[in-house]
């Protein structure tokens, strides 16, 4: 399984999300505290800086190499600040058919589309579903599916369901498109008789808002003919957490300096959403409910949080 994070709020140094905290995203790739699966198949990033030229266009970085050894990424992270960040470390189960390539590195973002997306999960029997899913993808976007992942197809379905994918969607437009994409996948699974646990944790942003989905098809259903192939990711609902606050950084505490938000939700100006909490102190982190979509946009400088349950 993969891991991802979203950030929206006051400008933050990328290093403070990716490398420095106790469970920073890059640290999670080789030293996880929750889902014990290494993420060794690449790293990708989108980061929006309102002070940069063309602020609606994000910084983009992607590499199929291990992020912990990526000096270019580390050097950039120490210099770049952003008000919105989407980061992803890719994890895949060993297989001779899996492609470790730049085309398969998340996040996915089609040309001219503000929305970017990353995925944590795995759709069972995806190869069989592609012909059925292709019918629901706008022909405009089909040529832009360059990789081999199920994740890029999910993204294509969401983009195709937006009224106008070339502009920033409203909250309701985005949440409706997400629900529609899940309905399309569910219908394809029913046609093919697929009833295997398939996780779909999604992370999306256009630089002005974010959405995160915690979802699983047929949770708890898995093949038992070969127990050695049943990974713990199929036995547990993939985690997804968020924390609200201000002045995210390294702060003095009773047990020494530690990474955390301050101020609490009532005085929040920023939010972090992640596969697992980035900080040692997890008391201020809230778990996103199962079968739900979290949406956040800044209203008057404060994160406005909406949670919508999904069928």
What pLDDT does 36 receive? 59
The set of residues, in sequence order, having a beta carbon less than 8 Å from that of 60 and lying 6+ positions away, is 45, 46, 109
pLDDT at 31 over 80: no
Asked whether residue 296 carries a pLDDT value surpassing 60, the answer given is yes
Mean pLDDT of the chain: 90
Domain count, the chain: 1
What pLDDT was estimated at residue 225? 73
Q: What average pLDDT does this structure show over 112-133?
A: 96
Digit-coded pLDDT (tens) for 187-205 = 999 999 999 999 999 999 9
Least confident of 38-47, 95-104, 107-116, 179-188: 95-104
DSSP bridge pairs for 46: 60, 86
Q: How many CB atoms within 10 Å of residue 132? A: 15
How high is the pLDDT of residue 268?
A: 97
Torsion sign over Cα 214, 217, 221, 223: negative
As a whole number, mean pLDDT of residues 200-223 equals: 95
pLDDT reported for residue 224 = 72
Nearest Cα residue to 141 out of 123, 121, 166: 166
pLDDT band with cut points at 50, 70 and 90 for residue 252: confident
Q: What is the pTM of this model?
A: 0.93
**Residue 265: both structure tokens together:** 């939700």
As beta bridge partners, residue 201 has 120
- Cβ-Cβ contacts under 8 Å for 260 (sequence gap 6 or more): 245, 248, 251, 253, 279, 281, 284
Other Cβ atoms within 10 Å of 40 Cβ, number: 18
What helix, strand, coil percent values describe the chain, rounded to 5?
A: 25, 30, 45
For residues 214 and 253, the answer to whether their CB atoms sit within 8 Å is: no
- Report the CATH number that the domain containing residue 252 is assigned in CATH: 3.60.20.10
Q: Is 28 strand, coil or helix?
A: helix
- Please report which residue ranges of the chain form alpha helices under DSSP H: 15-18, 25-30, 71-77, 126-134, 150-161, 171-192
Q: How confident is the model at residue 65 (pLDDT cuts 50, 70, 90)?
A: confident
DSSP, collapsed to helix, strand or coil, labels residue 87 as strand
pLDDT for res 98? 53
Q: What pLDDT was estimated at residue 271?
A: 98
pLDDT of residue 241: 97
What pLDDT is attached to residue 96?
Answer: 44
End-to-end CA distance of the chain: 23
Per-residue pLDDT of 89-113, as tens digits, reads 976 554 544 555 678 899 999 999 9
Segments forming the whole domain that contains residue 65: 3-309
């Amino acid at each position: 399984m993969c891991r991802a994070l979203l950030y929206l709020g006051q400008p933050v140094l990328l290093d403070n999300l990716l490398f420095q905290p106790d469970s920073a995203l890059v640290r999670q790739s080789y030293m996880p505290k929750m889902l014990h699966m290494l993420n060794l198949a690449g790293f990708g990033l989108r980061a929006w800086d309102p002070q940069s030229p063309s602020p609606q266009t994000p910084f983009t970085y992607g590499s199929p190499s291990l992020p912990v050894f990526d000096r270019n990424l580390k050097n950039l992270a120490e210099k770049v600040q952003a008000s919105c960040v989407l980061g992803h470390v890719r994890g895949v189960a060993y297989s001779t058919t899996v492609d470790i390539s730049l085309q398969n590195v998340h996040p996915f973002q089609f040309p001219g589309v503000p929305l970017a997306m990353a995925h944590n999960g795995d759709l069972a029997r995806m190869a069989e579903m592609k012909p059925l899913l292709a019918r629901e993808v706008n022909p405009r976007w089909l040529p832009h599916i360059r990789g081999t992942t199920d994740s890029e197809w999910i993204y294509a379905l969401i983009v195709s369901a937006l009224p106008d994918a070339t502009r920033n969607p409203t909250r309701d437009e985005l949440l409706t498109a997400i629900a529609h994409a899940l309905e399309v996948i569910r219908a394809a699974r029913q046609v093919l008789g697929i009833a295997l646990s398939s996780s779909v944790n999604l992370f999306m942003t256009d630089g002005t808002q974010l959405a995160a989905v915690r979802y699983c098809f047929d949770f708890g259903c898995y093949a038992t003919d070969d127990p050695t192939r049943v990974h713990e990711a199929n036995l547990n609902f993939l985690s997804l957490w968020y924390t609200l606050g201000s002045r995210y950084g390294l702060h003095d505490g009773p047990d020494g300096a530690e990474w955390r938000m301050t101020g609490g939700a009532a005085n929040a100006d920023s939010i972090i959403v992640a596969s697992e909490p980035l900080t040692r102190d997890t008391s201020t982190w809230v778990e996103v409910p199962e079968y739900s979509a979290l949406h956040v946009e800044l209203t008057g400088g404060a994160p406005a949080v909406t949670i919508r349950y999904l069928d």
